[in-house]
Amino acid sequence: MTREEKLLAAMLDAVDTLVDDFDLIDFLHHLCDRCDELLDVSAVGIMLTDPHGGLQLIAASNEHARLLELFALQVDEGPCVETRRTGTAQLNIALDSPEETAGFPRFAAHAREAGFRTTHALPMRLRQQNVGALNLFDTQAQRLGDSDAKVAQALADVATIAILQQRSLAHSNVERAQLRAALSSRVVIEQAKGILAERWRTTPDAAFEALRRHARAHQLPLTVLCREVIDGSLDTSVIEHP
């Protein structure tokens, strides 16, 4: 696929949000994959605003990004946190620059320890609704050009539209319940990843990819599969793994 075709495919993915059994978690992880493909970055993370106005990690392209995003939430600092607060993008932040990371020194130090050298954060918003932030991390000291920045914002906008469309399908109480369910699903997924990673003696990232492949191949919701792994009702030998 050409770059334009991949971007169009990402846009078309949002159409699936119109169906009742839309899987928000899987969609956002798929969007992370699209960012990796289109922007040549090392890792991607997506944070969403919870019903109480705080931020929660909802998707990450690999374990390094997940742990870094969780650290940002713990210390309440980082480009993603600032972008959520201000609604403006923060691009081409050199993590080894004291001047560029003055507002989030602990985050910058932790990111450098994880091997990242550059980061970007893009708002996920539509008009006055700010639903979160899309975060990009790179192990290389390379800038995100104007064209790539527009693609990144387009992908963030796709995620925003998908989330808002999904929320508009139900009453506000159901919306809050759905987001709580998505956050709860995140916990279930992490538990299943940990179980398989230990059982197979592999990485959490490899275990997660195996879960995703099996869920898609058998048309199962990812969270349903993960619950079966946790409660032991699934013979995990049927899952193809590294």
- pLDDT tens digit string along 154-211? 888 888 887 777 666 655 555 566 677 777 788 899 999 999 999 999 999 999 999 9
Let me know whether 189 and 161 are in one domain.
no
Let me know whether 25 and 78 are in one domain.
yes
Asked if residue 175 belongs to a domain, the reply is: no
Let me know whether 69 and 189 are in one domain.
no
Is residue 153 over pLDDT 80? yes
Asked if residue 177 belongs to a domain, the reply is: no
Let me know whether 10 and 82 are in one domain.
yes
Q: What is the pLDDT of residues 50-76, one digit of tens each?
A: 878 888 998 999 999 999 999 999 999
Let me know whether 152 and 122 are in one domain.
yes
Let me know whether 164 and 191 are in one domain.
no
Closest CA to 62 of 156, 7, 145, 135: 135
Share of the chain above pLDDT 90, in %: 53
Let me know whether 130 and 90 are in one domain.
yes
Q: What is the DSSP string of 147-183?
A: HHHHHHHHHHHHHHHHHHHHHHTS-HHHHHHHHHHHH
Q: Phi and psi dihedrals of 117, rounded to 5? A: -120, -20
CATH number for the domain including 149? 3.30.450.40
Let me know whether 66 and 154 are in one domain.
yes
Per the structure, the complete domain to which residue 190 belongs is given by 184-238
Let me know whether 228 and 191 are in one domain.
yes
Let me know whether 22 and 125 are in one domain.
yes
Asked if residue 157 belongs to a domain, the reply is: yes
Number of domains observed in the structure of the chain: 2
Q: How confident is the model at residue 20 (pLDDT cuts 50, 70, 90)?
A: low
Asked if residue 110 belongs to a domain, the reply is: yes
| Residues 189, 222 contacting (CB under 8 angstroms) | yes
